[in-house]
Amino acid sequence: MNKKEALLCASIAQSAYTNRSNEADFQMTAKFENKGTDTQGLMGVAYDNTFVVAFRGSEETGIADWLTDLKFILNLFPYGKDEVKDAQVHQGFISAYNSVRDAVLDAVRKTPHKRVICTGHSLGAALATLCALDIRCNVSGKEVSCYTYGSPKVGDDNFVKAYNRLVANTFRFVYRSDVVPSMPPGSYNHVGQFQQLGQQSETFSLSAILDNVIDKLEDHLPQNYVKALRDML
């Protein structure tokens, strides 16, 4: 795992909330949005050789809604063909991703850069995960990596197994006791290589998370991820 690249991706993921980036190593080239699903993000080039797709996360109260309402019903992952068989993912996440999929895949196919990074914080991290696997399955000639920050769980064990096999260069960061990665409940698990930032100061029972998720989101803020990674360098 490249710490400098992880910091850059965390900064880009934070920039997706404002659609502005001042990072010297990243040049934003386009934005994408679906107003119907309130799904958006930005794209650009890092280090002059890597195409980056960053998905915007949700506001604090918004991610609580995503994780605790009925949208966490599982649906089959629709883009994997024979490579991702019987894998199921969060219904709300896949619906949001599908609403911007055409624009994102079109840009990935057109970029001359062979290497692609998908990134995002919170809800954006879940969408980046889905996008990384979709690119790996459906766009030839690309090397796909994924950096996520404060990501909720995205799919079931079949999804996790297929994803980890196909997108091995995935790094999942959790800051201290961020509760969002504990969600949603049910038959979900995490993908990627786990990276703890800061000391985990507290653990929560599932009932406590469901009852108090909005009150326990301080560790989930994107600026905490950027600062912790900057402190590591």
Q: What is the CATH number of the domain that holds 145?
A: 3.40.50.1820
Beta strand 115-121 with 143-149: parallel, antiparallel or unpaired? parallel
- Quickly state the pLDDT bin for 205 (edges 50, 70, 90): low
Catalytic residue among 122, 151, 177, 182: 122
Clarify whether 201 is annotated catalytic: no
Q: Tell me whether residue 9 is exposed, middle or buried, using C-beta atoms within 10 angstroms of its C-beta: 0 to 12, 13 to 18, 19 or more.
A: buried
**140 given a catalytic annotation:** no
Assign 68 a pLDDT band (cuts: 50, 70, 90): low
What pLDDT score was predicted for residue 85? 86
pLDDT in tens, 54-64: 999 986 656 66
pLDDT of residue 82: 81
71 pLDDT exceeds 90? no
Range of the domain at 62: 3-232
Query: One of 134, 156, 178, 219 is an active-site residue; which one?
Result: 178
Proportion of the chain above pLDDT 70, given as a percent: 87
For the chain, what is the domain count?
1
Q: For residues 233 and 127, what is the distance between their CA atoms, to the nearest angstrom?
A: 27
Q: How far apart are CA 71 and CA 78, in angstroms?
A: 17
